[in-house]
C-alpha cells in the first residue's frame, strides 16, 4: 500500500535523523529525497535470473549511494544522459569485477573514480555493482498536495526586517555549499568572517540570489528549497518546501516592464525526478503550479519518460524563464506573466543539455549538450535556436566565462568533463560576425574539470581539474592570461588534501575564492592580480565545501 504524501515526508525526516556509523565530521548518511522514498518499498520489476541477490538493507544502502553519487549523470531510471545507460539489461552484459573496477577507478570519459577519491569503499563499490545488475526501482510522482505538506514559513513577510539589521555589505556576501551536511554558509566577502550557517537540503547544487539581492534561494539534491533572508542580523531560513525528489536548479523572476513588475515575485524549481518544473511564490515558497516536462525528443520524436530540467536562467528580455530540458533536447521559454494561461516557446536544440549561462550581452544562452560534445546557442530575444558546434569531450562550462580577446573580440569558453581542455569561441555576432560561434583558441589544462571563471575587471581565467585521474592534478589550479592565452596556463598545487573545485570573484573583482572539497574543507582566497594566496578560511563547520556564489555577481549575471 502506498504511503500518503504526509507519511512519506515524515519518513524522509525520520531517516535523515538516523546515524550512520563510520563518519566523524559530518552527520550520518541519511536516506533523503528520492532514496528515502525508494526505501519505502516502491515497485521494482522482476530480477533477471543472473542478477545478484540483495537483502532489504543492502538495497536501501545501494539506493542511497546511487542517489548521492550516480543519479545526477545516469538518471533515476538509469537510462543515461551525461553518463551512459546503466539499466540492468546493459549491466548484466558485464562481469561484476569489471563493474567494480569502473566504479572504483572511474573512466577517461569523465566519470569520477569514487573509490580512488575516497567517496566510496571497496565494499560499497561491490554493492553498487550488484545493485546495477538488478531492476530499477520506480520512484513515485509528487504533486501539489504532497509539496504543500512540506511547506513552512518560519518568518512571515510582515515580520521580516525592512532594512538590513547589520553593517555587512549584502552585495559582497558569499553563499557556500557545505555539501554533505545539508547546510549552507554565508561569509562576508570583506572581513572573511562567517556571518551564519543555515540548514538547507541535502547536497545543495546552487545558491541563487534574488533579483534585489535580499535573498538567497538554495536547491538541494533532495528537492528541498530554502529561502535565506540576508537582511536578518544573522542570516536565516525564512521559508522552505520540498517540491522534487531529486533536483538541481532554481531561479527567480527578474522582469519589470509593460507586462508588470515581477521582481522577486515568483521562483521556479527544475526537477530531475519527477520530471517537472514547479512555480513558487517568490517570498513564501508556496507551491503554485506544476509543469510536466515529459514529451518527445526533438530529433527522433520518441516519447521520453524522464526529461530532466538542467539549467534555468531568468531572461533579461521578457517575463520568461529559460529552461533547458536535458533528455529531449529542448529549450523552453516559460512566460510567467499569466500562470493561469501559461505560454511557452519550445525551441529544438540538442539532446543532453546540461550546464550553461549567458554571453556578455545577456542575450544568448550558451549551454552544453555534453553527451553530444557540443555547445548550443539560443537567442532569447528572437526566441530561436541559432547554432551548435562541437568543442571537446563533454563540455561543462558551469555558467561559463566571457571576456574580450585582443584578436577576436568578445569570446566565451568552456572546460570539459572528458578531457583537460579549455575551448574559446567567438560570441559577438554583431561586432565580430566572422568569429561568432567559431572556435578561436584552445589549450590543455591540468585535467578534466568542472568549472572556469573570470571577471570583466580581471586579466585571468581560472580553471580546476576536479575530475582528473592523474595523481595530484585535481589539487591544482591553472590560470590563463586573457592578453596572452596562447602562452598557456600558470598551474600550481593549491592543496595537499581534497580536490580543488569552483571559483568565484568578490564584488570588486580583485579576489578569487575556491574550495578544497573534502571533510577537512578549506576556502582559499587569492589576489587575482598577483595570483598570490591571501588567506585560508578553516573551521570545524567547513565540511565538504563546493560551490560558492557572490550576491552581486549572481544578481548581475557576471561571469
Q: Looking at the annotation, which residues are catalytic?
A: 70, 73-74, 111, 354, 396
Which of 209, 218, 270, 206 lies closest to 243 in space, CA to CA?
270
- Paired with 137 in beta bridges are 44
- Written as nine digits, the cell of 234 is 544573522
DSSP track, 161-190: -SS-SSSS-GGGEEEEEEGGGTEEEEEETT
* Contact in structure between 192 and 506 (CB atoms under 8 Å): no
CA distance 96 to 129: 6
CA distance 413 to 417: 14
CA distance 267 to 334: 12
String of b and e for 237-248 (b: at least 16 CB within 10 Å)?
A: bbbbbbbbbbbb
* Contact in structure between 270 and 247 (CB atoms under 8 Å): yes
CA distance 121 to 468: 19
- Written as nine digits, the cell of 54 is 540483495
* Contact in structure between 235 and 166 (CB atoms under 8 Å): no
Name, in order, each residue with C-beta under 8 angstroms of 398's C-beta and a sequence gap of 6 or more: 355, 357, 415, 450, 451, 452, 453, 502, 559
* Contact in structure between 511 and 505 (CB atoms under 8 Å): yes
- Written as nine digits, the cell of 47 is 530480477
Which of 372, 406, 499 lies closest to 106 in space, CA to CA?
499
How many C-beta atoms lie closer than 10 Å to residue 432's C-beta? Answer: 18
CA distance 257 to 261: 6
Amino acid at each position: 500500500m502506498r504511503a500518503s504524501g504526509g507519511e512519506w515526508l515524515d519518513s524522509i525526516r525520520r531517516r535523515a535523523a538516523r546515524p550512520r556509523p563510520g563518519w566523524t565530521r559530518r552527520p550520518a548518511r541519511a536516506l533523503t529525497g528520492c532514496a528515502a522514498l525508494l526505501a519505502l518499498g516502491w515497485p521494482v520489476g522482476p530480477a533477471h535470473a543472473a542478477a545478484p541477490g540483495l537483502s532489504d538493507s543492502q538495497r536501501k544502502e545501494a539506493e542511497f549511494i546511487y542517489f548521492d553519487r550516480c543519479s545526477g549523470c545516469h538518471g533515476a531510471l538509469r537510462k543515461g544522459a551525461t553518463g551512459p545507460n546503466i539499466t540492468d539489461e546493459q549491466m548484466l552484459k558485464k562481469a561484476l569485477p569489471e563493474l567494480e573496477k569502473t566504479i572504483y577507478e572511474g573512466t577517461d570519459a569523465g566519470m569520477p573514480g569514487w573509490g580512488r577519491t575516497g567517496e566510496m569503499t571497496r565494499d560499497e563499490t561491490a554493492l553498487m555493482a550488484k545493485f546495477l545488475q538488478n531492476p530499477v526501482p520506480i520512484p513515485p510522482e509528487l504533486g501539489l498536495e504532497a509539496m504543500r505538506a512540506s511547506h513552512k514559513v518560519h518568518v512571515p513577510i510582515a515580520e521580516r526586517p525592512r532594512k538590513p539589521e547589520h553593517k555587512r555589505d549584502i552585495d559582497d556576501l558569499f553563499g557556500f555549499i557545505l555539501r554533505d551536511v545539508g547546510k549552507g554558509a554565508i561569509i562576508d566577502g570583506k572581513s572573511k568572517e562567517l556571518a551564519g550557517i543555515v540548514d538547507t537540503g541535502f547536497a545543495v547544487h546552487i545558491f541563487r540570489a534574488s533579483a534585489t539581492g535580499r535573498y538567497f534561494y538554495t536547491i538541494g539534491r533532495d528537492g528541498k528549497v530554502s529561502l535565506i533572508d540576508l537582511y536578518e542580523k544573522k542570516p536565516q531560513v525564512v521559508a522552505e518546501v520540498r517540491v522534487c525528489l531529486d533536483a538541481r536548479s532554481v531561479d527567480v523572476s527578474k522582469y519589470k516592464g509593460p507586462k508588470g513588475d515581477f521582481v522577486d515575485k515568483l521562483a521556479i524549481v527544475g526537477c530531475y525526478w519527477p520530471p517537472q518544473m514547479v512555480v513558487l511564490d517568490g517570498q513564501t515558497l508556496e507551491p503554485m503550479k506544476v509543469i510536466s516536462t515529459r514529451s518527445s525528443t526533438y530529433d527522433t520524436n520518441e516519447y521520453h519518460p524522464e526529461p530532466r530540467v538542467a539549467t534555468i536562467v531568468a531572461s533579461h528580455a521578457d517575463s520568461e524563464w529559460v529552461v533547458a530540458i536535458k533528455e529531449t533536447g529542448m529549450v523552453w521559454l516559460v512566460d510567467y506573466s499569466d500562470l493561469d494561461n501559461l505560454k511557452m516557446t519550445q525551441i529544438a536544440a540538442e539532446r543532453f543539455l546540461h550546464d550553461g549561462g549567458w554571453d556578455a550581452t545577456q542575450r544568448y544562452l550558451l549551454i552544453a549538450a555534453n553527451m553530444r560534445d557540443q555547445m548550443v546557442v539560443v537567442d532569447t530575444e528572437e526566441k530561436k535556436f541559432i547554432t551548435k558546434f562541437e568543442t571537446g569531450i563533454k563540455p561543462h562550462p558551469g555558467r561559463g566565462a566571457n571576456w574580450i580577446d585582443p584578436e577576436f573580440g568578445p569570446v566565451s569558453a568552456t572546460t570539459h568533463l572528458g578531457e583537460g581542455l579549455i575551448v574559446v569561441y567567438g560570441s559577438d555576432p554583431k561586432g565580430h560576425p566572422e568569429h561568432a560561434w567559431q572556435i578561436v583558441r584552445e589549450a590543455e589544462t591540468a585535467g578534466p574539470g568542472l568549472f572556469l571563471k573570470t571577471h570583466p575587471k580581471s586579466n585571468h581565467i581560472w580553471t580546476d581539474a576536479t575530475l582528473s585521474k592523474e595523481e595530484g592534478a585535481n589539487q591544482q589550479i591553472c590560470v590563463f592570461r586573457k592578453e596572452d592565452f596562447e602562452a598557456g596556463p600558470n598551474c600550481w598545487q593549491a592543496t595537499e588534501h581534497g580536490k580543488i573545485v569552483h571559483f568565484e570573484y568578490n564584488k570588486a573583482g580583485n579576489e578569487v575564492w575556491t574550495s578544497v572539497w573534502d571533510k577537512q574543507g578549506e576556502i582559499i582566497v587569492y589576489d587575482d592580480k598577483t595570483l598570490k594566496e591571501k588567506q585560508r578560511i578553516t573551521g570545524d563547520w567547513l565540511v565538504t565545501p563546493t560551490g560558492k556564489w557572490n550576491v552581486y555577481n549572481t544578481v548581475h549575471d557576471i561571469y
